Chains A and B, each alone.
Chain A
Amino acid sequence: MSKPFFSPLRSLRPILLCAVLPVAVACAETPVWPGAQRQVIIGFTAPTDGKARPTLDAIEKAAGIRVRYVSALSDRSCAYLLNCPASDAACEAVIQTLRHTPGIDYIQADQTRNLP
């Protein structure tokens, strides 16, 4: 049985910070990094505040690279930018690592669609 990616109680902390510190950098737009990035969708095994700092910290710790929140799909899936180039083998290894991280149900490329 899979466990939540992190404690929901811990995830509340940054939200509370946002409430009292509207200008808190952690809750505002993170600067875009220069260089190549790879956008992915991460599905969690349990409802997760994907924007919360503890979630980002946990993903960054597992991945070993910088990670930026992009958007939410649902209460258990979000899009993220990984700070590694799409064609890089090491980036692929990071994705494999995340795929096997407890609390993560799936990770996949956030591809673009067009008009048929």
Chain B
Amino acid sequence: MKLRAILLALTGLPTLFSANVQAQAEAPEARVIVKLKAGSALKQIQAGSRIQSLGARLGLSAQMIGQPGQDVHVMHATGLTSAALAARLTKESDVEYAVPDRIKKISALPNDPLLAFQWYLQTPDVTRLSAIDAVRAWDLTSGSNKVVVAVVDTGVRFDHEDLAPRLLAGYDFVSDNLNAGDAQSGRDADASDPGDYASTSELANATLRNMCGSAVAHASSWHGTQVAGIVAAESNNSRGIAGVGGSTRILPVRVLGKCGGFDSDIIAGMRWAAGLAVPGVPANPNPAQIINLSLAGSGTCSAAYMSAIAEIRAAGALVVAAAGNETGAVEEPANCSGVLAVAGIRHAGTKVGYSSYGSEVGVSAPAGNCVNTVTGLPCLFPLINTINLGATAPAGNGYTGTSDQTVGTSFATPLVAGTAALMLAANPALSEAGLARYIKQGATPFPFDATLPVCPAVSSDGQCNCTTTTCGAGMLNAAAAVSAALAAAAASPLASITAPAEPEAGKAATFSASASTAATGATLVGWKWTQTSGPATGTFGSGSAASTTFKAPSAGSYTIRLTVTDDAGRTGTAETSIQVKAAAKSSGGGGVTDLPSLLGLLGLVALALHQRRKA
């Protein structure tokens, strides 16, 4: 019985592995309604052939999947988005129009009861100029569960009902037992937040007291749970709040404990989140495309952060970081080159007093502000977050309320990360640089309040009128950013793979990207070949050339992915499945023809002769 169970489990493993890899690397699919012009010569051939012919002109294998009217066809192709295919078809002389065949849903806002209090997600108006218009971004995309945002923070409460469906397993990188507070020695696989409170007795320890910078006891912040909820609390579930990122998944990476966390653990956690190896830690099965860092500290960007961020960007992940709450220079790691630093603005769009600011900031977003309250009255513009209700150890789960002062650049940052996740859902081909570019491009210009100084000068409470040299490109606009991502898809290059007909296991087969095309005026400058599924891992002659070889070690079905990049940094992807046949058996009764085998055989013969002489 036991043996049968083990065998069943083992036989299921390759299927599980294959499905997992394929889910992560699924190529985009296009579905477009295309109408031919009245005088098109294509009308003389059958409808299905018209579509195949149009596809062939674009280097695509296209099929007709419907014909809603005379000369009107629904065209399907893989390797590009619907927007990109429609844009290409529109340029064809035979085409009257080509538009994406979109899915329409009942137009309604998510039914999360606290959404009405999430003022920062609404369409901006005179009372909330800095609101990010997530509600209109959701009309363009509801997010994707293939997009992963790492929340590198205090860990999360896995039992929070508004977060649980969105959470991946994550990892705990807090290596110092003194501030870990989780009763486990060193790093471990449990990314849950045990609470980051520090009691008076704990703070009697000088090392912990120095880390805290204070001897005053404090309650648990449940900071990671709050940040994760802003990114991707489940929406439209009749419960609590809505996250910005819709169906986005959260990868919790615990790096902060009592009184914060060390750079060494943060950097290790960031690297792991992006899918990079960290010695002593298992590989991350769900690498994040976006890394949220709602943490900061003083100092210029150090070599350790610089090196890690360069690696993470090369791996394709966007790093979004909080500018800091010091009304001063942008803090580390937000001040590192290549990081999208986020400053905080008030509901009115001016810099909120506590936010750090400077030339390193990429964009500003609502961070919450209570400055216009008086004692005893609620905070007017807080963020409404998922939280645990325990003062120290975990208790029940809930939400922050309008009486809580939930403010800080910590909370502006996940609004940007969640927006980036929506953009990736809308255009999976976007690079990390593309995400940052279109977030900035879509930002709304800062307003001007004549009663306030212009940054970097600040009022007595730290406020000022933002400029593009102090608070980034503008105020985050999620709808505009997602629109820019969709528009970019139309100009993205088309990847096309020419694959060998019947490759053989153990032999190098040639793959070519020569049929790939860039948009008019652009040039292809980069090629990346990867294997996304298969019974075993094969090897490429070159992973970054326009033409390469691939050697599959054994027979079976393999999927090869090509990503092409143009000189504007736009990318396009294509995938192809190949059926690798078993290596042909050598004739002549198993004769040895290759040199290594021949040498091995000669060695065996020599050994046999030697032993025979000894005997």
Contact = CB atoms under 8 A, between A and B. Distances in A.
B263 interface: yes
A105 interface: yes
A79 interface: yes
B265 A71 contact: yes
A115 B304 contact: no
Nearest to A37: B207
B167 interface: no
B410 A115 contact: yes
Interface string A10-53: 00000000000000000000000000000101010000011100
Nearest to A41: B304
Nearest to A71: B175
A92 interface: no
A2 interface: no
B276 interface: yes
B175 A111 contact: no
B433 to A, nearest CB: 22
Contact of B304 (A50, A72, A108): A108
Nearest to A107: B303
A116 B276 CA distance: 26
A51 B277 CA distance: 16
Contacts of B261: 112-113
A55 interface: no
Given A110-B263, A113-B296, A114-B296, A74 B280 contact: no
Contacts of B266: 113
A51 B279 CA distance: 10
A112 B324 CA distance: 14
A70 B176 CA distance: 8
Contact of A74 (B186, B277, B298): B277
Nearest to B325: A116
Contacts of B280: 51, 71-72
Nearest to B299: A111
B408 interface: yes
A111 B304 CA distance: 11
B212 to A, nearest CB: 9
Given A74-B277, A74-B279, A106 B295 contact: no
A77 interface: yes
Interface in B340-370: 356
Contact of B271 (A71, A74, A79, A110): A74
> Is the interface on chain B under 10, 10 to 19, 20 to 34, or 35 or more residues?
35 or more
Contact of A112 (B260, B277, B331, B408): B260
Contacts of B265: 71, 79
Given A39-B262, A74-B277, A79-B262, A112 B267 contact: no
Nearest to A72: B279
Contacts of B187: 71
Interface in A69-97: 70-75, 77-79
B353 to A, nearest CB: 13
A78 B175 CA distance: 12
Contact of A114 (B176, B268, B295, B299): B295
Contact of B307 (A43, A50, A72, A115): A43
Contacts of B294: 115-116
Contact of A115 (B221, B279, B303): B221
Nearest to A70: B175
B322 A116 contact: yes
Contacts of A79: 175, 262, 264-265
Contacts of B176: 70
Contacts of A41: 263-264, 267, 302, 304
Most buried by B among A50, A106, A111, A114: A114
B223 interface: yes
B387 to A, nearest CB: 13
B304 A77 contact: yes
Given A71-B187, A71-B268, A115 B276 contact: no
A116 B324 contact: yes
A72 B175 CA distance: 10
Contact of B409 (A50, A71, A74, A116): A116
A24 to B, nearest CB: 17
B568 interface: no
B7 interface: no
Given A74-B278, A75-B277, A113 B295 contact: yes
B546 interface: no
A5 B573 CA distance: 41
A58 B176 CA distance: 24
A110 B259 contact: no
A51 B281 CA distance: 14
Contacts of A77: 267, 304, 307
A110 B211 CA distance: 12
The 4 closest A-B pairs by CB, nearest first: A79-B264, A114-B260, A106-B303, A72-B279
11 contacts: A41-B302, A51-B280, A71-B268, A73-B268, A75-B279, A77-B267, A113-B261, A113-B297, A114-B296, A114-B297, A115-B256
Given A106-B302, A112-B259, A115-B221, 20 more contacts: A41-B263, A41-B304, A51-B279, A71-B280, A74-B279, A74-B308, A78-B264, A79-B264, A106-B304, A108-B302, A108-B303, A111-B262, A111-B263, A112-B261, A113-B260, A113-B295, A113-B332, A115-B223, A116-B294, A116-B295
Interface of B: 154, 175-176, 186-187, 211, 221, 223, 256, 259-268, 271, 276-280, 294-299, 302-304, 307-308, 311, 322-325, 331-332, 356, 408-410
